[in-house]
Amino acid sequence: MLATSLQAAFVAIFFGQASGKVNKFLGIPFAQPPTGDLRFRLPKPNYPYSGTQTVTAFGPSCPQQDITIPIPAGLTQDAVDFLVNTVYGSIFPDSEDCLTINVVAPATAKPGDKLPVVTWIFGGGFQLGGTTIYDGVSIVQKSIDLGKPVVYVSMNYRLSAFGFLASDEVKQAGVGNLGLQDQREALRWIQKYIGSFGGDPTKVTIWGESAGAISVALHLLTNGGNPEGLFRAAFMESGSPIPVGDISHGQPYYDDLVQRTECTGSSDTLECLRQVPYSKLKAAMDKSPSILSYQSLKLAWLPRADGVFLKDTPQNLVQQGSVANVPFITGDCDDEGTFFSLSTLNITTEQQVHDYLKQNYFPQGSDAELTVILNAYPSDLTQGSPFNTGILNALSPQFKRLAALQGDAVFQAPRRFFLQKRSGKQNTWSFLSKRLKTLPFLGSVHGSDILNVYGGGDMADYLVRFAANLDPNGNTGINWPKYTTESPNLLTFLDGSIPLTITQDIYRSDGFDALTQLCLEHPI
């Protein structure tokens, strides 16, 4: 057991836990519990700390949306194991009282050391996830080994309907994107207190994967691109400013939630939802489409333009230049869409693909616009995802096609769009992970790069150096050149005897351009 004193306004002593060369302070409340009347409201800063508190265990995760992973016939056991154990698992126990933050620091760190801070935002489709499965010890240990010690921070944030409720009612009340507001409040907590743990509040890097990376990107866009001194760099794995539209797009899901909770007759449905018993609200939320439902990446609850955190759609904000002027790294896995196409194996014909795109993603899109997309993503198995696997991995006649399309629409094309708009204005780097390519049907699947960071792999080296020096390069790995429009360099992670190489971000340009144009005109 060890202690650190928080010297902000009130003096408090936090008793944490020693673990080898690191100290852990877990489950620290950073905001008032978003329960009772604070449900569906902006996070309120925690009361000043006083006295002593034992912070040696993670707090509960925020309420998890019930998700069933589709396991189609023919999926091999190693692919099943990866899905269940690595990518999407609910984190229990969960509770509405969940807004806690965790700090992992070198055992030698003390106030005044001013170490760089790496702040992790977890993924999970904005529907599930938590901090407990990500062991920051490995990151801090790696930083010590590299001679560049950092402090690691992770936070919980509200998820699904609790964190991303969406409707006109929500917009009028100014309570959209509460999960992002929770993250922002945690970043303010870091500014106030991280010095007591040996961290430097002026050297914070925000970092995330999937929904966490999308969150990081949206922190770059909010507030007119003014980071308020909350961070100085950003690292995004499989997530960029996504092509979503106005918060009113969530109205059908909100209305369904209101109906299921018997709030339909209320004069103030939002206030009624605040008063619904937790179990009833959770059961209604669980009926919402999940990221693994038939509609896949067209999520019910996710960040949208709410007029407060996001004044406009994310991609419009990028075009307007509402982007924090800080160095950033953003990259993807090669086969981002395979996982999200397991729920649409019953789509087997050209017409069904057309109808799915029209009905699910682009109801305002014209047939001519959709034809351009379909021509760029033909049903030729050799052009589908997992990419570069020939005719293999075709779970159904259109699986590889939809996997290519969905992965590019939500992950790869938005990444390239972001880089093309910003690379001349700030220091940018990009990567592509092609590891685990032999994983049957999934390939270099969404989430596979997490193993390369938390497992002590070479991506962790680049992350630590970037947080310390604002440059990922150093003594290990190969030189990672910046990304520019003239030289769109990708640090490419490979299996085999040559684990790292530099390639160019010029693949599938017709498809990316068509998807970007369609998404700008008709946000999802």
Tokens of 506: 């010029």
Residue 308, pLDDT > 70, answer: yes
Confidence of residue 7 (pLDDT cuts 50, 70, 90): low
- Looking at residue 509, its pLDDT comes to 98
List pLDDT tens digits, range 468-513: 999 999 999 999 999 999 999 999 999 999 999 999 999 999 999 9
Q: Which DSSP category does 83 fall into?
A: I
Q: How far apart are the first and last CA of the chain?
A: 49
Whole-angstrom CA distances from 318 to 103, 415, 479, 501, 506 are 32, 11, 29, 29, 21
Give the per-residue pLDDT at 79: 82
> Residue 237: which H helix or E strand, with range?
strand 233-237
Which of 82-86, 219-223, 262-266, 276-280 is predicted least confidently?
82-86
pLDDT score recorded for residue 237 = 99
| Run of H or E including 153 | strand 151-155
How far is residue 17's CA from residue 108's CA, in Å, rounded to a whole number?
Answer: 13
Higher pLDDT, 452 or 78: 452
Cα 380 from Cα 391, distance rounded (Å): 8
With pLDDT > 90 as the criterion, what percentage of the chain qualifies? 90
What value does the mean pLDDT take over residues 443-461? 96
Secondary structure in 3-state letters for 167-227: CHHHHHHCCCCHHHHHHHHHHHHHHHHHHHHCEEEEEEEEEEECHHHHHHHHHHHCHHHCC
Residue at token pair 């509040």:
201
Q: What secondary structure letter does DSSP report for 42? A: P
Cβ neighbours around 54 below 10 Å, total: 15
Give the residues across from 154 on adjacent strands.
Answer: 102, 120
pLDDT at residue number 86: 65
Half-sphere exposure of 405 (CA within 13 A, CB side): 28
User: Could you give the residue numbers annotated as active site?
Assistant: 210, 336, 446
Give the separation between CA 56 and CA 14, rounded to whole angstroms: 9
- In 3D space, the residue among 131, 467, 495, 523 whose CA is nearest the CA of residue 317 turns out to be 523
CATH superfamily of the domain spanning 2-521: Alpha/Beta hydrolase fold, catalytic domain (3.40.50.1820)
